[in-house]
Amino acid sequence: MKDIKFNIGCEDIEELINGGAYYVDKTAYLKNILMSSSEVKNSLFIRPRRFGKTLNLSMIKEFCKLNYQNPEDKSYQQKLFIDNGRSLAVAGEDYSEFREKVMGEFPVISISFKTVEGSCFQRAVSQLLYKFGMIYDEFDFLSKSSKQDPDDIETYRANKKFCKNQKDELYEPQNLSKAISIISTAIPQIGAMLYQEFGRKVIVIIDEYDVPLQKAVIAEEPYYSKMLEIIRTISGNTFKKDNLPWLYKAVVSGCLRIAHQSVFTDANNFTTYGMGDEPYTGFFGFTQDETGKLLENCDLSDKSSEVKEWYDGYRFGKQHIFCPWSLVSYCNQALHSDNDKPQQFWINTSGNDLITMFTKNSMETHDAGNLSKLQQLLDGERVNITLEEFTTYPDIHDRVSFDVFMTLMLHTGYVTYTEDSDSSEEVTIRIPNQEVLSCFIAKQKFLYGENNPYWFNQAMILVDLLLENKELQAQELITSMLMSFLSVRKTRSEFYYHGFMTGVLGFACSAKGLEFHEEIEKGSGFPDVVLKRDSTDTVTVLEFKKGNNDRLARIDSANYATAQIIEQKYAEPFLKEGYSKVYGIGIGFGGKNCVVKSLGNMAKKK
């Protein structure tokens, strides 16, 4: 194996390159982004998490950033991008004129909203204020400059002091109002001062603009409308339609495309680049060529088919894109351990509550339509949806349409466009790869376990119904549970229903302290399930059969199951042990329905 160094999770281009870590070159895109026409003054890039947004924005910042102590000095960029021995695209002769005009030529204001969250509005504002306080620190030299207006200096110092002193949550109304005012005006204030200081226009970078909106929706005390007003005001003041003499270009990133009228109301020349928009489809994530080169450099070319199955599948425009976080994590694992088997990486980088919230909500509201379509995706099928442009961030605690939810899932990387989809309003989607499918599988443990009170209570009731020989109530409940059950399967075989029932009954019996046996030898064969409650001297023997999705076929299957209980003498051992209540129950399945037939108390027929 080759000695290749990876810096997993590194989002700083300087740290990555100077640290000698592997880097997939994206510098070829700098020219398009920074030298594009005035009609594309500001750019919003929408991509899923862990696809390299922050690293690419760091690249833009470090390439353009002026040396504030010596504006003519470009040695920092020369060393980082040109003389590093990596032969980056931007170091080529074709970029010489571009480098002359852009490299090290601009003041850059860069801020990330990635970690801005709070259980209430005041805490989230406090997080934002801290972020802007760091910007005031970075440009503190402005408050000491003779080129600045004394009133601007006074305001700068007062704002910086306020940011530093507000370490606790902003519960005093006047402090909260002051904090929001500073947050809303900091970028244009500092931008104008930088322009005054250096006579050069400013580049503004905002990373993960929508994270505070996401967090506001799912907070203990939701505050979406208040946070939306802050983000909208920041946008309006920074990118307003009036020609700002100090602003050269802005680059903003996020996961979710929220309608212009909601966030970028007063934005000037703002162009949004989604996953299907050229010329930046290969800017985030690894293309097939980049992935092939990485695997070749790591002597892992023989693993390309497995890597493709696990980490490929995303479609940005006409390109197949691999998840960079997962791919680098896999290569690092394969090179520096004995394990070269693909596994989940992307899915473990942050909470994956979208799947849980949606499916749990659909189960509790008995929304069979949503669950049926989601089941199609889990079965590897394609599903048609209408893309939604959000005017607000969807509250996934509430019941939302399948199209709204799947648009959200598309933006966050859980599903992707199919190859023949044109990324217009009507699109076809699928689950991209094995890694994401594994996430859905993992979520089943939550959805159908003790952590989900709704499902857990249904399972507990079902055990009681079967041990009390209440066949019609059991039939109704099992059918209801099947309607809200999601599985990852190739076909609906008898094993599918067997797995469903053993899973449900197994954890419920464990919680109740009852005996649960699966396919133990009894009589002349192996009954599917045996339930025992010694406190009531009760045993229930269960046998499952699959029929067609037709009522008569299900009845035949249930009768066949009960006949097998008799023929194979599954109940005989319990009758000999003297149990006073021994029930034989056959269940015939088909589709999302079942028929339950009971032989009654076989102990009384002895």
At 141-155, the pLDDT tens digits run: 999 999 999 999 999
Give the pLDDT band (50/70/90) at residue 412.
confident
- List the 593-601 sheet strands across, edge first: 515-518, 529-533, 538-546, 581-590, 593-601
More confident residue, 409 or 489: 409
Checking if the pLDDT of 491 tops 60, the result is: no
The CA distance from 529 to 527, in Å, is 6
Checking if the pLDDT of 257 tops 80, the result is: no
CA angle 165–157–140, rounded 5-degree value: 100
- List the 42-46 sheet strands across, edge first: 108-112, 202-207, 247-254, 42-46, 270-273
Q: Is 192:240 a contact under the CB 8 Å cutoff?
A: no
The CA distance from 342 to 345, in Å, is 9
Per-residue confidence (pLDDT) for residue 522, from 0 to 100 = 76
pLDDT tens digits, one per residue of 511-524: 899 999 987 777 77
Residues in contact with 213: Cβ distance below 8 Å, sequence separation at least 6, in sequence order: 224, 227, 228, 231, 256, 258, 393
C-alpha radius of gyration, the chain, whole number: 30
Per-residue confidence (pLDDT) for residue 42, from 0 to 100 = 84
Per-residue confidence (pLDDT) for residue 392, from 0 to 100 = 66
pLDDT tens digits, one per residue of 168-182: 667 788 899 999 999
Per-residue confidence (pLDDT) for residue 183, from 0 to 100 = 96
Checking if the pLDDT of 78 tops 90, the result is: yes
Q: Is 453:361 a contact under the CB 8 Å cutoff?
A: no
E strand or H helix that includes residue 272: strand 270-273
pLDDT tens digits, one per residue of 79-122: 999 999 899 999 999 999 999 999 999 999 999 999 999 999 99
E strand or H helix that includes residue 108: strand 108-112
Per-residue confidence (pLDDT) for residue 372, from 0 to 100 = 78
Checking if the pLDDT of 396 tops 80, the result is: no
pLDDT tens digits, one per residue of 38-55: 556 788 898 988 899 999
Lowest mean pLDDT, pick from 10-24, 123-137, 160-174: 160-174
Checking if the pLDDT of 70 tops 90, the result is: yes
Per-residue confidence (pLDDT) for residue 348, from 0 to 100 = 57
Give the pLDDT band (50/70/90) at residue 452.
confident
Per-residue confidence (pLDDT) for residue 152, from 0 to 100 = 96
Mean pLDDT of the region 457-484: 93
Checking if the pLDDT of 447 tops 80, the result is: no
Burial classification of residue 30, based on how many CB atoms lie within 10 Å of its CB (0-12 exposed, 13-18 middle, 19 or more buried): buried
User: Quick one: what percent of the chain has pLDDT higher than 70?
Assistant: 88
HSE-up of 373 (CA within 13 Å, CB side)?
Answer: 17
Mark residue 271 as left, alpha or beta (left: phi above 0; alpha: psi -120 to 50; beta: remaining).
beta
Q: Is 354:414 a contact under the CB 8 Å cutoff?
A: yes
Per-residue confidence (pLDDT) for residue 19, from 0 to 100 = 94
Checking if the pLDDT of 398 tops 80, the result is: no
Per-residue confidence (pLDDT) for residue 313, from 0 to 100 = 86
Give the pLDDT band (50/70/90) at residue 68.
very high
pLDDT tens digits, one per residue of 349-392: 554 456 666 666 666 655 667 777 888 888 888 999 988 776 66
Mean pLDDT of the region 478-498: 76
Phi, psi angle pair for 270, to nearest 5°: -95, 125
Mark residue 106 as left, alpha or beta (left: phi above 0; alpha: psi -120 to 50; beta: remaining).
beta
Checking if the pLDDT of 194 tops 60, the result is: yes
Residues in contact with 51: Cβ distance below 8 Å, sequence separation at least 6, in sequence order: 284, 285, 321, 323, 324, 325, 413
Q: Mapped to the 3 state alphabet, what secondary structure does 128-193 carry?
A: HHHHHHHHHHHCHHHHHCCCCCHHHHHHHHHHHHHHHHCCCCCCCHHHHHHHHHHHHHHHHHHHHH
Per-residue confidence (pLDDT) for residue 278, from 0 to 100 = 84
pTM assigned to the model: 0.82
User: Which neighbouring-strand residues pair with 272?
Assistant: 44
Residues in contact with 86: Cβ distance below 8 Å, sequence separation at least 6, in sequence order: 17, 23, 25
Q: Is 457:481 a contact under the CB 8 Å cutoff?
A: no
E strand or H helix that includes residue 39: none
Lowest mean pLDDT, pick from 244-248, 268-272, 402-406, 552-556: 268-272
User: Which neighbouring-strand residues pair with 108?
Assistant: 203
Per-residue confidence (pLDDT) for residue 368, from 0 to 100 = 67
Number of H helices, E strands in the chain: 22, 16
Q: Is 98:30 a contact under the CB 8 Å cutoff?
A: yes
Per-residue confidence (pLDDT) for residue 155, from 0 to 100 = 97
Residue 281 is which amino acid?
T
Checking if the pLDDT of 15 tops 70, the result is: yes
Mean pLDDT of the region 495-508: 86
CA dihedral 79, 85, 91, 94 (to 10 degrees): 150
Lowest mean pLDDT, pick from 237-251, 274-288, 469-483, 488-502: 488-502
Per-residue confidence (pLDDT) for residue 347, from 0 to 100 = 64
Checking if the pLDDT of 311 tops 70, the result is: yes
Checking if the pLDDT of 469 tops 60, the result is: yes
Q: Give Cα 463 distance to the centre of its chain.
A: 36
Per-residue confidence (pLDDT) for residue 96, from 0 to 100 = 95
Per-residue confidence (pLDDT) for residue 267, from 0 to 100 = 66
